[in-house]
Amino acid sequence: MAEEHHHHHLFHHDKDGSEQKPVDYEKEEKHHKHLEHLGELGAAAAGTYALHEKHEAKKDPEHAHKHKVEEEIAAAAAVGAGGYVFHEHHEKKEAKEEEEEAHGKKHHHLF
């Protein structure tokens, strides 16, 4: 699977390469923070549902297999949402660093 890297610049470009408008890094950071929080809610909901299905498997032995399958699916969804949260946290952090660089607040050090 090829990974696609997004590079942020001071200006957004149209498809023809002409410059459009400056990047609002503060808005971008806020956007990633919002997505990070949505991912956290998704992870919490999926984890809660997995626990519910685990309880149902014990409570309803006749349909225990169905509940165990649903528990595993929900647990996988919770892990996936956790990965998404990690990704968005990284994007938020990157946007903040780029805003600081754009405004001269942060300098790269070699050591």
pLDDT in tens, 6-20: 555 545 555 666 667
- Nearest C-alpha neighbor of 44 from the set 89, 90, 75: 75
Does the model's pTM come out above 0.85? no
- At 102, the pLDDT band (50, 70, 90 cuts) reads confident
pLDDT in tens, 33-79: 999 999 999 999 999 999 999 999 999 999 999 999 999 999 999 99
Percent of the chain's residues with pLDDT above 70:
77
Residue type, 32: H
* Residue 8, CA distances (Å) to 1, 15, 61, 83, 102 in order: 22, 16, 53, 22, 11
- Nearest C-alpha neighbor of 87 from the set 35, 25, 47: 35
